[in-house]
Copies of this chain bind each other. A is one copy, B any other.
């Protein structure tokens, strides 16, 4: 006997079960099975029970593609990040995935690696897969690249800024608040000579962080010489190089604020290599509060931009755009707070009285 393993087409994967098999088993029509599966109340509870038992028995799983084809909704969300290897993003991805799955969505992830043609292909792929919405968490993508998505009126979520169009929602990160806290923290410790290592300035978010720094400084009446603003690229390598430039200056700043944690970690390395102690000689402050930050030596004082907040806002904003009866369907802006987390990479400026006292106490305790 070479009969097919099930009554449906023999092209199908073995063990695959369709709604028809369930219908046959339960002795009802496929329409009834569909209604039972979708918990439509007009179905007789007795029949529904029979359907559910049949589903259990034959091991039925509804085919998502067929569902998507007919319903026009794929229940997939696109998530575009800059580079998955930057430790900030996996944390974001993880949280985004958790939340999306909890809401019954699948996640299609893509990283642009800052390459326009990659972004291009990424968007085309997401369009083809017919995602229900896309979160563009690249912190400053070129707008024209997402033009296609905008045209097709996909629900879209951007960080910081996006075109002012229907179906576009924006997560406004309040860089100012956290950076002001950081600057005031340093100023309160006595720092006056504070440098800033930026991210790649073509990124809107990097420029926003730098501007927030300059604003906070001028609020305190502190001036920033041009050579105290050095451009990095949000990688550790970039942080090392940028810090090296600052070390080469005639007046080494007493504190350095960095546009992200990886840059700050790079700065720590550069200082360590040149036998400068942190925080005794130079205070270093990061931005993001990635997991790694607390395990640095010394643990990094940093401005927290919570992935949890960001991911939660992104998923909520996408759902608001997708599900027409969502309570926040009309909301277009989500505020993301930032706040300073003080650890041990920031202290009194070198040469000041409190620093000397600290250092003496430290030596007395046997630390180096």
Contact = CB atoms under 8 A, between A and B. Distances in A.
Contacts of A31: none
Contacts of A152: 13-16
Contact of A111 (B97, B127, B272, B366): B97
Nearest to A124: B61
A72 B153 contact: no
A344 to B, nearest CB: 12
A165 interface: no
A267 to B, nearest CB: 12
20 contacts: A13-B153, A14-B152, A14-B153, A15-B151, A15-B152, A59-B148, A62-B128, A63-B128, A63-B130, A64-B129, A64-B130, A65-B130, A84-B93, A84-B97, A87-B87, A89-B90, A94-B111, A97-B109, A106-B108, A106-B129
A111 to B, nearest CB: 7
A88 to B, nearest CB: 11
A297 interface: yes
B269 A64 contact: no
Given A13-B152, A125-B101, A69 B72 contact: no
Interface string A71-86: 0101000000001110
A295 B238 CA distance: 12
A66 interface: yes
Nearest to A273: B297
A11 interface: yes
Interface residues of A, number: 59
Contacts of A124: 61
Given A61-B127, A295-B236, A90 B84 contact: yes
B13 A72 contact: yes
A53 interface: no
Interface of A: 11-16, 59, 61-66, 68-69, 72, 74, 83-85, 87, 89-91, 93-94, 97, 101, 106-111, 121, 124-125, 127-130, 148, 151-154, 236, 265-266, 269, 272-273, 275, 291, 295, 297, 366-368
A155 B265 CA distance: 42
Given A15-B151, A61-B128, A84-B90, A295 B275 contact: no
A64 B126 CA distance: 10
Nearest to A17: B152
Most B CB atoms within 10 A — which of A11, A84, A89? A84
A66 B129 CA distance: 10
Contacts of A154: 13
Contact of A121 (B12, B101, B273): B101
Contact of A108 (B15, B108, B148): B108
A12 B153 CA distance: 11
Nearest to A69: B65
Nearest to A14: B153
Nearest to A62: B128
